[in-house]
Amino acid sequence: MSKIGVWGMGGVGKTTIMKHIHNDLLKEQRFERVIWVTISKEFNVMKVQDNIASALESKEYLNKEEDKLRRAAILSEMLKKAGKHVLILDDVWDKVSLEEVGIPEPSGSNGCKLVLTTRSEHVCKYMGCKVIKVNPLSEEEALILFLNKVGPNIVQSPTIMPTLKLVVRECAGLPLTIVVVAGTMKGEDNPLIWKNELGELKERIGKVEGVEAEVIERLKFSFDHLKDKQAKYCFLYCIVYPEDFEIEMDELIECWIEEGFIDDMGTRQEMKDKGLTILKKLEDNCLLENITNVFGQPRVKMQDAVRDMALSITRMNPRYMIQAGLQLEELPEKEQWSPDIEKVSLMFNSISKISIDVLPTKCQLLTTLLLQNNPIKKISISFFTNMPCLSVLNLSFTKIKSLPNSISELKNLTTLLLCECYELRDLPCLSMLQELKKLDLCWTKIEEVPEGMDRLIKLRYIDLDVSTPKEIPAGLLPKLVHLQHLSFDVENEKTSLKAEEMEPLKKLECFTGRFKDINQFNKFISSMQQSKKNLIKYCLQVGSYNVGCERDKTVAIGRVHHWEGELIMHPIEIQELHIIECDYLRSLVDDNSSFKNAIDLRVCRIWGCDGIECVVSLSSFASSSAHPFQSLEVLDLHDLPKLSALIMKDAGIGSETTSTLATSATFSHLKEIRIYKCSSMNTLLPHWLLLDLQNLEEIWVQECDEVVEILGAATSEVEEKGGDALIKFHLPKLRELKLRNLPNLNSICSKSGVMVCDSLRLIRVINCGELKRIPPFGPLVGTEQPYAYAPPSLTIESRKEWWESLEWDDHQNFKNVLHFNPFEV
């Protein structure tokens, strides 16, 4: 049969369903793909997951903004190219037209086997499926799952175990219920409490009728046992997102702060830490599932049955109206806007116009209105007139061009979010919004800072990352003394800041902005240090060259001239530094530099600085107890015509003075070196420096005309060891060595040298015509002789002509232990 219906009670779990599918279908014959499709209750395709190895790992998504017909067409086209596949239609609530959602009728000719999962046997029969019922877990399976979640100290308690088994029995073999109840009881070692909770669980279940109602009561048991009232509010808030939505943790905690669920504390960071603590509690109770997306971003989501439980609570008190992600084209009907509603979520729909006609006379208790991710173009002039308690308004990712004047009547508004409203060009006067704490205008098109903003003295958060404003009015920022977060577009030179305007902002924690010159930048850093205030997150740019920020604490200085001799200050704990086209610099770390104390720096990029001769001058060691760049992981040097060495002493590279002073931790965590167009460099890494490069993983050198060797030993070192002695170049973690367009390179390491780097996987050589030999390798341990050994995973990549032209010094067996892969540019 081409269609199978798998049904079971809510909370049975996808893992159990997959096991049944595997047993009853996948063993029949081999399928090329497993495609898992999620549809909404309105039969809109919401998400497609496609992974041959595991149908539970997301690989492909449909754009949530596509309309219903477009989604169906996309899915239909995808399935035509899918080959022989199993299509799993997940969580079907009612009979559905396959054609309507874009699924062709399964048949042998199109190679499709359809499996639908549902809570209703009737749906399976209506769809013409072979019916498979997913039975709950056996008592033994249920007990094992419960014990895995509840903790080892409980497992070992003989006084608790009899009661525990009865609690497991009340979970009815449903995996989700088992893990949620176990999470609630985790760590509880009092037998009396276990008996009391067993009685409560039985009483709850006895008061309701029907399988689904019993599931909800079991899950509500966990919710009611959240001792923290804040945690309860935070949990319920998660239903404002569409079903199966993966919520970014940072965004969710920001929402909790906006809603006032987290008490106002000394700093915003403390509030975020409190939010993380609440998240951990909800995860431990298995009310939220911790997931990480393909980009490594931490997210959480709600299981469907848990969300149903939360929705059942918010239909009563507190009262929510949740219609998110349902592809609505209009606001809900007037009858649905009951006067006691507190929060409304209509996010991720297709609403284009907002009219006053559908609203009741007064939404007296409405505090939150979420309209983001709708193609809204127009809002009725008087729409906000009857919302006296509204405190959170989110219109982000809409197409509005202006806001109605009635927004000025929202005297209790604390949060106004207009992020990525690309067509928004102006705002009405905001002076009446005296309670406003957060204003997000990121990536709008406003040209003037909103009128009346200087009166919003309670503001804690402003995002003006906008390219269009002409200026920041003088005297505005000093009035906003409670600011904790402030962002400007660092590419907009018209919004360059002055240090005296920033000085009063003593509570600032997160800051993105530009300073016109080093003088203003230094004044700002100095004022921060004098007030003993450290920014937690920042992206600071100086000058006219724009660089993106990859890390939390970044400084970029570009095209700044006429500051020769002026000390560059930097914030405490700087992690990323860019120096671009600043010709007056001779080195980054010397006696006249504060960067010698940048011990937390992880990434350093120096590009286009004509005066740079070295990165670190060893003379700076005498005046500093810190080791420059001791935490540095990435060093990127680009277009530095005078650069001759990474570390330099006046006595010269390779001198006795240099060797003894170089026994520092400088570069000790360096993983990646990239050198490009540095035409004065002869030797990249001298032997005496390698002791500090034991974590180096990648070397990349390109278009450096004067480079002769990559790893070099000074003449004095060769003479000291004797002419025939081998000098070992230890780089135990080196994985890749990439060399390109180096016309004078004649050796990778000195002729008397042996590379000891068992982790080396790749040497790529492109257009290095003078390089005639591959250096010998020695193992980290053992007594194998050079020329009979190579790192086990090493591949040499280059043009075949270059490989055939290499000289082997009568060590032809060395060539035999090397693996060559022809590489065409």
Q: Are 617 and 590 in contact (CB under 8 A)?
A: yes
Which of 314-323, 722-731, 745-754, 770-779 shows the lowest per-residue confidence on average (mean pLDDT)?
Answer: 722-731
**DSSP string over 564-576:** TTPPPP--TT--E
Domain boundary among 202, 225, 248: 225
d(CA 122, CA 398): 40
Output the pLDDT for position 64: 43
d(CA 589, CA 617): 6
Output the pLDDT for position 376: 96
Tell whether 758 and 740 lie within a shared domain. yes
Highest averaged pLDDT of the listed ranges 178-182, 293-297, 783-787:
178-182
Tell whether 168 and 198 lie within a shared domain. yes
| Residue, of 47 and 544, whose pLDDT is higher | 544
pLDDT level of residue 65 (50, 70, 90 thresholds): very low
Which of 503-512, 531-540, 700-709, 789-798 shows the lowest per-residue confidence on average (mean pLDDT)?
Answer: 531-540
Highest averaged pLDDT of the listed ranges 45-49, 547-551, 794-798:
794-798
Residue 56 reports pLDDT greater than 70: no
Tell whether 344 and 442 lie within a shared domain. yes
Task: Give the dihedral sign, CA 448/450/454/459.
Answer: negative
Residue 18 reports pLDDT greater than 60: no
d(CA 588, CA 640): 13
pLDDT level of residue 68 (50, 70, 90 thresholds): low
If you search the block for the tokens 């525990």, which residue do you land on? Answer: 164
Task: Give the dihedral sign, CA 120/125/127/133.
Answer: positive
How do residues 339-369 score in pLDDT, each as one tens digit?
899 999 999 999 999 987 877 777 889 999 9
524-555 burial string, b = 16+ CB within 10 Å, else e?
A: bbebbeeeeeebbebbbbbbbbbbebeeebbb
Residues 6 or more apart whose CB falls under 8 angstroms from that of 654 comprise 686, 688, 714, 715, 716, 717
Q: Any bridge partners for residue 322, and if so which? A: 345
- 586 SS3 class: coil
Residue 57 reports pLDDT greater than 50: no
Residue 781 reports pLDDT greater than 50: yes
Whether 683 is covered by a domain: the verdict is no
Quote the domain boundaries for residue 201. Answer: 139-225
Output the pLDDT for position 114: 85
Q: Residue 229, class by beta-carbon neighbours within 10 Å (0-12 exposed, 13-18 middle, 19+ buried)?
A: exposed
Q: Are 400 and 424 in contact (CB under 8 A)?
A: yes
Please report the beta strands in 185-316, taking only residues with DSSP state E, as ranges in sequence order: 247-248, 289-292, 298-301
What is the arithmetic mean of pLDDT over 550-559? 89
Output the pLDDT for position 15: 53
Tokens describing residue 299: 């997210």
Whether 468 is covered by a domain: the verdict is no
What is the arithmetic mean of pLDDT over 614-628? 68
User: How many CB atoms within 10 Å of residue 659?
Assistant: 18
pLDDT level of residue 659 (50, 70, 90 thresholds): very low
Instruction: Give me the number of domains the chain comprises.
Output: 5
The amino acid sitting at 95 is K
Tell whether 221 and 233 lie within a shared domain. no
CATH number at residue 448: 3.80.10.10
| Residue, of 88 and 51, whose pLDDT is higher | 88
Tell whether 76 and 160 lie within a shared domain. no
Residue 243 reports pLDDT greater than 50: yes
What is the arithmetic mean of pLDDT over 616-623? 65
Residue 55 reports pLDDT greater than 60: no
Tell whether 112 and 9 lie within a shared domain. yes
Mean pLDDT, rounded, of the chain = 85
* CA of residue 671 relative to chain centroid, distance: 22
Three state DSSP letters for 773-825? CCCCECCCCCCCCCCCCCCCCCEEEECHHHHHHCCCCCCHHHHHHCEEEECCC
Output the pLDDT for position 129: 86
Residue 654 reports pLDDT greater than 80: no
d(CA 645, CA 643): 6
What is the arithmetic mean of pLDDT over 438-453? 95
What is the arithmetic mean of pLDDT over 509-535? 89
CATH number at residue 284: 1.10.10.10
Output the pLDDT for position 547: 79
How do residues 161-198 score in pLDDT, each as one tens digit?
999 999 999 999 988 899 999 999 998 999 999 999 99
Domain boundary among 269, 294, 316: 316
Output the pLDDT for position 716: 54
Whether 542 is covered by a domain: the verdict is no
Whether 563 is covered by a domain: the verdict is no
Tell whether 802 and 820 lie within a shared domain. yes
Whether 49 is covered by a domain: the verdict is yes
Whether 694 is covered by a domain: the verdict is no
304 phi and psi angles, rounded to 5 deg:
-55, -45
Domain boundary among 250, 285, 316: 316
pLDDT level of residue 107 (50, 70, 90 thresholds): confident
- 219 SS3 class: helix
Residues 6 or more apart whose CB falls under 8 angstroms from that of 27 comprise none
How many CA atoms are closer than 13 Å to the CA of 603, on its beta-carbon side? 13
Tell whether 333 and 450 lie within a shared domain. yes
What is the arithmetic mean of pLDDT over 598-626? 80
Tell whether 708 and 820 lie within a shared domain. yes
Output the pLDDT for position 714: 64
Residues 6 or more apart whose CB falls under 8 angstroms from that of 586 comprise 611, 612, 613, 614, 617
How do residues 71-95 score in pLDDT, each as one tens digit?
677 777 777 777 788 888 877 877 7
How do residues 22-39 score in pLDDT, each as one tens digit?
555 555 556 667 777 776
Which of 60-69, 107-116, 375-384 shows the lowest per-residue confidence on average (mean pLDDT)?
Answer: 60-69
* CA of residue 506 relative to chain centroid, distance: 29
Tell whether 348 and 411 lie within a shared domain. yes
Longest Cα–Cα distance of the chain, Å, equals 97
Tokens describing residue 544: 């006219």
Output the pLDDT for position 91: 76
Which H or E run contains 200? helix 191-206
Output the pLDDT for position 60: 37
Residues 6 or more apart whose CB falls under 8 angstroms from that of 628 comprise 589, 595, 596, 598, 599, 616, 620, 664, 666
Whether 412 is covered by a domain: the verdict is yes
564-577 burial string, b = 16+ CB within 10 Å, else e?
A: eeeebbbbbebbbb
Output the pLDDT for position 127: 84
Whether 196 is covered by a domain: the verdict is yes
Q: Quote the pTM value.
A: 0.85
CATH number at residue 92: 3.40.50.300
Tokens describing residue 57: 């790992």
Output the pLDDT for position 19: 56
Which of 52-66, 312-326, 768-782 shows the lowest per-residue confidence on average (mean pLDDT)?
Answer: 52-66
d(CA 800, CA 432): 74
What is the arithmetic mean of pLDDT over 147-158? 84
Tell whether 129 and 147 lie within a shared domain. no
Q: What percent of the chain has pLDDT over 90?
A: 52
Residues 6 or more apart whose CB falls under 8 angstroms from that of 669 comprise 630, 631, 632, 633, 695
Tell whether 244 and 218 lie within a shared domain. no
Peptide bond into 318 cis (omega under 30): yes
Q: What percent of the chain has pLDDT over 70?
A: 85
Tokens describing residue 315: 């239909």
d(CA 603, CA 617): 19
